[in-house]
Amino acid sequence: MKDEYPQHEANRAMWNAQATAWARGTDARGLWRRCHQDPSLALCPTERALLGTIAGRETCVLGSGDNEAVFALAGMGALVTSVDISDAQLDIARARAESLSLEVRFVRSDVCILTDLADESFDVVYTGGHISVWISDLRRYYAEAVRILRPHGLFLVNDYHPTRRMWHDSQGPAPAHRYFDRGPYRYVSEEGLPQYEYHWTTTDHVQAMLDAGCTLVKIEEDGEGEEEGAHAAMVPADLPRSLLLGGRKMGGGAVDRPEPESRGAPCR
């Protein structure tokens, strides 16, 4: 299993090495201490409207990272399972949850191989905040997310907007990457560890959700503004910041559609 996604294992080692620095950043922001009391700090109005009343609902967060969404959902009364590939990220999140007296189940897993999570065991699966960029197989990721979801359950994705990735690595106003160049993009972290990133398109996200067996109930592009972080300094401020997708799992499970024959070719 471990060998199935060698790039993910490389990313795991990199995230383990980066976890302490990431925690320093989220400590400085301080949201994780407050979002269980004020979920609006971590979840936007559209997310909260789609989630509705989730007290007592089994909810899974995939690629939980800083766990701000996890703590917000726990504060809303959901029974939350937090999934991340990085042991070190989860150790930090577990200690933070304990310090807030929040009950959260933590599972270390690749989002493409959720073997520890049973079929149809969640009412809500949530993922977002820059996760898909680390995933080499978006169709498998979304198929796993929908497999663990109960029929009519909500699959909520709120990720970094695909168009912005074109300016990643840019030194000027022109984009550095083609929209349809999905990667992999290989970088070396400050610790000298390789990391692999992927640029999925909006269509890739929507199609993967439909193919996994959802009907699309919401799509929204939101937010403008200056990018934070050195890499992204050149991202035009007037592009949308996030892509939000809401899917409802259909009764009959995944839709059997063929793998795409070619990627990026225009429709005729």
Under the rule (CB under 6 A), what is the footprint of ligand SAM?
A: 8, 11, 15, 63, 65-66, 84-86, 89, 110-111, 129-131, 134-135
Residue with tokens 């160049």, as numbered in its chain: 181
CB of 177 to ligand SAM, least distance (A): 19
First to last CA, the chain: 39
What tokens appear for 43 in the block?
Answer: 């979840």
Q: Taking a C-beta distance cutoff of 8 angstroms, is the pair 129, 100 a contact?
A: no
Given a contact cutoff of 8 angstroms between Cβ atoms, the answer to whether 70 and 80 are in contact is yes
39 and 76 Cβ atoms separated by less than 8 Å: yes
Quick check: 175 and 181 in contact, CB under 8 A? no
**Cα gap 266→268, rounded to integer Å:** 6
